[in-house]
Structure 1
Amino acid sequence: MLEERCKQKNTSNSNFQFPPFLQAGDKVAIVSPSGKIDTQFVEGAKQRLESWGLKVITGKHVCDSSGLYAGTIKHRLKDLQRAMDHLEVKAIFCSRGGYGAVHLIDKLDFTAFRKHPKWLIGYSDVTTLHNLFQKNGYASLHSPMAYHLTMESEDDPCIMYLKDILSGNPPTYTCEKHELNKQGHAQGVLRGGNMSVICGLRGTPYDIAAEGTVLFIEDVNEEPQAIERMMYNLKLGGVLEKLSGLIIGQFTKYEEDGSLGKDLYAALADLVKEYNYPVCFNFPVGHVTHNLPLINGARVEFTVGEKEVELKFNLNR
């Protein structure tokens, strides 16, 4: 018990463990911890992963349905726990986001996982699980999911980046400048994901540590006032002042209704203008086709320059 408590205490620092990278012939699992999904998307993802030389197993309840969820809490929990415990599985692909991972967060056991760690892959509602994995000291992958492996073409750049990262070859990302960017250079640990999920876990044991963090945020179907309110939560809660850098990604499926007196990015820029660290806007992460895979828990170099933004992963632990 003492050893387990010590492990729990150590998870707020930046020494995240990387699961082994994948090789041909490795096993991966597809599970559905959140929303329900049609069988065709799971089968399509399985075919894509097999084309990469991987062996795929699927959760028993991966295509179950219980309301909007992929089965009952018990069934979703059982599938994810089995994948985490599996001796040979090297990566866990979430089938899709939606809602429901919060039902599982305090019920998962990392005892077997610690002996055989594996990559967790997904975004959106899967941010809940990314926070859980960080609490337990493990890096994970905020990236396109099984659904996208079916929907996107074989040469889709984000799917190819995902494949490269899983093989141990992370790319260096560059993207265009934005007029609201704050120039600068920072080093830190990359953490983040869906803003609503992050704020929903504020004040819990699964909150993100702010000190030394390069934070990335994105969201979908949230009105400008709701997004600004969540940003104020981070500001008034002392999170923003402790960051090393801030990556503001894609906020989609909302209307600029004039409620803020300015557009959303401009409102967020006002909230962070007092800080000295670099900030970039319109980074390609979120509920969009061009959704760059990001390693939660990786040390990064983040540079916001006059002409472009660069994000470089440092895997030398």
Structure 2
Amino acid sequence: MTNTLPTSTSQTSTTLKSWGLTVIEASNLYSSAEEGRYSGTLDERADAMQALIDNKSVKAIFFARGGYGSSQLLNKLNYSKLEKHPKWFVGYSDITAFHIALNNLGFETIQGPMMKGFNKDSRPERRQPAAIPGSKGFYKGHRQKGNHTV
């Protein structure tokens, strides 16, 4: 099986940079564990996600791909820094576990494209930067509560 993640995330990074965003890749993005099922061990994935949550400059976290392993992370993370430095969590499918957990804590999330298929979506409106702070197309009036579909 060919790993298309490096190519697809590189293309998505290029799109996000064209919006005026700085892209920070998680330390485990290209890691592999259990024959490619996960992007690293549970501890590696939790540490990488915690680093993004704790980073004040990160405004949004786009998940690279789905996977039922995302639910394994929920109880291993400390969400307290999101109070002072909230950020969008963007993804769908198995990432819904994050949406539910974060929505229950009072944080907003975006049900939207993941990095792996971001540029493959035939509907360009699904790739709009309107909700991402710092992007050229950011819509400053966006203040709805809960989960949003992009």
How far 1:44 sits from its partner (Å)? 1.2
How far 1:99 sits from its partner (Å)? 1.9
Match of 2:93 among 124, 134, 158: 124
- How many residue pairs get aligned? The number is 139
- Structure 1 residues not aligned, in runs of 5+: 1-35, 172-188, 192-292, 296-317
Q: TM-score, length-normalised on structure 2?
A: 0.82
1:57 has 2:24 as partner: yes
Structure 1 residue identity aligned to 2:127: I
Q: Which residue of 2 aligns with 1:249?
A: none
User: Which secondary structure does the structure 2 equivalent of 1:69 belong to?
Assistant: coil
Match of 2:126 among 158, 162, 166: 158
Q: Which residue of 2 aligns with 1:39?
A: 6
Which runs of structure 2 are paired with 1:1-317 in the superposition (5 Å)?
38-67=5-34, 68-152=37-121, 156-160=124-128, 163-166=129-132, 167-168=138-139, 294=149
Q: Which residue of 1 aligns with 2:135?
A: none
Name which one, 1 or 2, has greater alpha-carbon Rg. 1
> Which is richer in strand?
1
Structure 2 residue identity aligned to 1:168: Y
Change (3 A) 1:82 1:190: closer
How far 1:111 sits from its partner (Å)? 2.0
How far 1:112 sits from its partner (Å)? 1.8
> Which is richer in helix?
2
CA distance in 2, matches of 1:57, 1:108: 19
CA distance in 2, matches of 1:111, 1:157: 33
What are the Cα deviations for residues 230-277 of structure 1, in whole angstroms up to 9, with x where unaligned?
Answer: xxxxxxxxxxxxxxxxxxxxxxxxxxxxxxxxxxxxxxxxxxxxxxxx
How far 1:169 sits from its partner (Å)? 6.5
RMSD: 2.3
Counting aligned pairs with the same residue, the percent is 30
CA distance in 1, matches of 2:49, 2:139: 24
- Structure 2 residues not aligned, in runs of 5+: 133-137
Q: TM-score, length-normalised on structure 1?
A: 0.41
